[in-house]
Amino acid sequence: MKRILVILLGVLPLAASCEKEIAYPIKGGDRSLLVECIASNGTDTTFISVQPTYPIGGGREGAVHGLSAAMSVNGKERDVELVSRDGEICVFGVPGQLGQGDAVRVDAWADGIARVSASGVVPAALQLDCERSLEDDNLIRYRMVVRRPDDGASRHCYAVLLRSISIAEEAMWYSGVREYTCDTLEQRVSYFNVVAEQPYTLCTLEGRPAMLFEADENSPSMEIVFDAGYDEDCVYAATPTDTSIVRYMYDVQLLNVPPLLYDYYNPPVSDVLLGAGLVPPFVNFSNIDGGYGILACAGRSSTGWTPGFDPLPPLGQ
């Protein structure tokens, strides 16, 4: 029905209308910054992504220099280091853990761009009830029950992140000495699929694929069921004396995120209908003062690193 209404309200009038290029009605404007950060407990490093914006109506262009970020927790500054740079997107890492109730403030700036900032308080984490079962085609099915916190808020939203690591262990005999090596590599989760009927949004949080859900406020709890790709532990034996194995570990994290984060990744935008003034105004659901993006303070709970089904025992040294 929505598709038909969009056709009647947008496509047909556009089809029958005259088009003319005009000067952009919004003139110039200063560049700003888009900042994205999830500040939560349960992690050793908090990441802050900063990138410059471009004014549509014309204005300053060109490369931006001096992109920087800062973070303070309970009024105390923390060290910030540049972790990666992809084009104009800079990711900063802030080592150190956060706890429930910590007041977090994030600032970002660049040469010639006004400083932007946001602040928030880390909420409590939720109790994580998670069961898993092995499905066909090497899929793990996770079934989580999330109980709505009794905090009096009108909306509750959750994010589910899935992490996977591979641990490659080798035990080799060199010159009569057995050498043992172990490499841990974070795997990119290549597949997961929400099975249950509740609507969800796929997004990227902390550089990882994540699912966003909004709780039904008429129900005290919510069940989240999803399938994720599963790799079995395997053994690579070169000789009877030299052995190498690869083991896989999985971690499911549940974040109690602010509704603003859910809205930020579910922007109700139709350029056609907004440009016609047909729908109520949309503004980026952003809490960055003076800029764009979001600082989401979240409570995080985790299953911890859990081995797969029929895990191989670790190689002894």
Partner 1 sequence: MKELHSSLCGLLLAALSTHTWNLSAQDAEGFHVADTIPQATVTALRPAAAYTGLVRLDSKDLLKGAALFGSPDVIKVLQNFSGVAAGMELSSGLYVHGGDGSDNLFLLDGVPLFQVTHLGGLFSVFNADAVESLSFYKSGFPAKYGGRLSSVVDVSTSDGSADKFGGSFSIGLIDGRLFLQGPIVRDKLSFSVAMRRSWLDAVLVPMIAIAARQNDMPEDTKAGYSMFDTNVGLTYTPTPRDRLSLRFYCGTDGLHYYGTDTEIQDSPEGVHRLEDKMSMALDWGNLAASASWRHLFPGGAELNALAYWSRGYSDMTGEIASESFEDGMVSSQKYNEKIFSSASVAGFKSIAVFRLDRHVLNAGIEYRHEWYDPVRTVTVSMPAAMPGSVPGMSESVFYRADGFSMFGEDEMQYGPLTLSAGLRLDLFAQGGKVYFRPQPRLSGSYALSRGLLLKASYEWTSQFTHLLSSVFLDLPTNLWLPATAKVKPADSRQVALGLHASPSRNWRIDVGGYYRTIGNCILYSGGLSLLPPLEDWESVFVSGRGRSYGAELELGYVADKFDVTAYYTLSWTTRFFPELYHDWFFDRFDNRHKLTLVSTWRIAPGVELGATWNFHSGNRVTLPEQYTVNGDGSRTLLYSMPYNAKLPAYHRLDLSCSFRSVTRRGRERIWNISVYNAYCRMNPSMIMTSIPDDGPPKAYAYSLVPILPSVSYTLKF
Question: Three-state DSSP class for 43?
Answer: coil
Question: Three-state DSSP class for 88?
Answer: coil
Whether 230 and 138 have beta carbons less than 8 Å apart is answered as yes
Return the half-sphere exposure (C-beta side, CA atoms, 13 A cut-off) of residue 159: 27
Q: Of the two residues 4 and 177, which places its CB atom closer to partner 1 in the complex? A: 4
Residue 277 near partner 1 by CB under 8 A: yes
Contacting partner 1 within 217-236 (CB under 8 A)? 217
Residue 16 near partner 1 by CB under 8 A: yes
Residue 256 near partner 1 by CB under 8 A: no
Whether 183 and 162 have beta carbons less than 8 Å apart is answered as no
From the list 39-47, 115-123, 245-253, 262-270, the region that binds partner 1 by CB under 8 A is 262-270
Binding residue for partner 1, selected from 62, 87, 176, 316, defined by CB under 8 A: 87
Residue 88 near partner 1 by CB under 8 A: yes
Encode burial over 77-102: b for 16+ CB neighbours within 10 A, e otherwise. Answer: eeebeeeeeeeeebbbbbeeebeeeb
Binding residue for partner 1, selected from 56, 235, 237, 238, defined by CB under 8 A: 56
Q: How far is CA 117 from the centre of its chain?
A: 20
Binding residue for partner 1, selected from 41, 51, 253, 301, defined by CB under 8 A: 51
Site string for partner 1, 115-154 (x = CB under 8 A): ---------------------------------------x
Query: Minimal CA–CA distance to 182: which of 251, 231, 233, 245?
Result: 245
Q: Of the two residues 214 and 233, which places its CB atom closer to partner 1 in the complex? A: 214
Residue 114 near partner 1 by CB under 8 A: no
Residue 22 near partner 1 by CB under 8 A: yes
- Minimum distance between the CB of residue 216 and partner 1, rounded to whole angstroms? 9
Going along 148-242, which residue ranges are E strands? 157-174, 177-187, 192-194, 200-205, 208-214, 221-229, 234-237
Residues that bind partner 1 (CB under 8 A): 1-9, 11-26, 29, 31-32, 34, 51-58, 86-89, 154-155, 217, 267-284, 292
